[in-house]
């Protein structure tokens, strides 16, 4: 499974990319607004740090505008993935950009039917928002399972499942069990992945016992 960071904070991306565990980045207008920086400048900076896919979202709502913005964004760096909304205009733009060999991420997916039609449009990634489904009493993880089952039925559907709106470690682990291709994580959730109280307790005990031996490896 690939790990993407869901942030536009350049300093955070740089720091966590040094782990060697980050495979890509997803951004959206809200995340860029929180960063307080110019959209294009942010993307250019991220592209100097991350070699993997960087999702950059269009802000136009009509097909022509999305295509034009997508073409502009794709020129920023070779690893830019154009992020499109799951609307009819967005799907038309997805077909057009896919035909131009430009990678796409169709976002704001909340149903298996939406995921199916996005795959038919040639989306490189589909982004189901599981946390937002949980918020309204539906199961986001059930949606991931349904999409995985549908895509597995058809060899011609090459769209990757990019699990978004991740809120917890349970979301990450169960998405991996289902077989999702990618999860995009808020930095906070990524940092929680390696933590466990028994790991810390065990390490503290090992270090205490080692100190009592008065030995040194070096």
Catalytic residue from among 45, 78, 83, 101: 83
Q: What does the alpha-carbon distance between residue 106 and residue 40 come to, in Å, rounded to a whole number?
A: 20
75 among known catalytic residues:
no
Q: Which residues of 162-178 are buried (b: 16+ CB within 10 A; e: fewer)?
A: bbbbbbeeebbebbeeb
Integer angstrom CA distances of residue 136 from 129, 130, 133, 139: 12, 10, 5, 9
Residue with tokens 């720091």: 15
Beta carbons within 8 Å of 49's beta carbon, 6+ residues apart: 10, 13, 14, 17
Q: What share of the chain is helix, strand, coil (3-state, %, to 5)?
A: 50, 15, 30
Residue 199 CB coordination number (10 Å): 10
Chain-centroid distance, C-alpha 176: 14
Q: Which residues are catalytic?
A: 83
């Amino acid at each position: 499974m690939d790990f993407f960071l869901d942030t536009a904070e350049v300093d955070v991306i740089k720091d966590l990319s040094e782990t060697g565990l980050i495979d890509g980045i997803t951004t959206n207008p809200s995340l860029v607004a929180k960063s307080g920086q110019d959209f294009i400048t942010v993307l250019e900076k991220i592209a100097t740090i991350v070699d993997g896919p960087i999702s950059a979202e269009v802000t136009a709502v009509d097909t022509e505008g999305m295509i034009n913005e997508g073409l502009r964004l794709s020129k920023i760096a070779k690893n830019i993935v154009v992020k499109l909304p799951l609307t009819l205009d967005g799907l038309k733009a997805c077909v057009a950009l896919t035909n131009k060999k430009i990678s796409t991420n169709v976002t704001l997916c909340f149903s298996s039917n939406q995921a199916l039609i996005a795959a038919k449009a040639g989306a490189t990634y589909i982004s189901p928002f599981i946390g937002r489904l949980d918020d309204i009493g539906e199961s986001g993880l059930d949606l991931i399972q349904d999409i995985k089952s549908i895509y597995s039925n058809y060899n011609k559907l090459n769209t990757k499942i990019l699990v978004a709106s991740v809120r917890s470690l349970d979301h990450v682990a169960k998405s991996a069990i289902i077989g999702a291709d990618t999860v995009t994580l808020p930095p906070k959730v990524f940092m929680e992945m390696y933590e466990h109280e028994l790991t810390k307790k065990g390490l503290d005990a090992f270090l205490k016992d080692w100190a009592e031996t008065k030995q040194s490896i070096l």
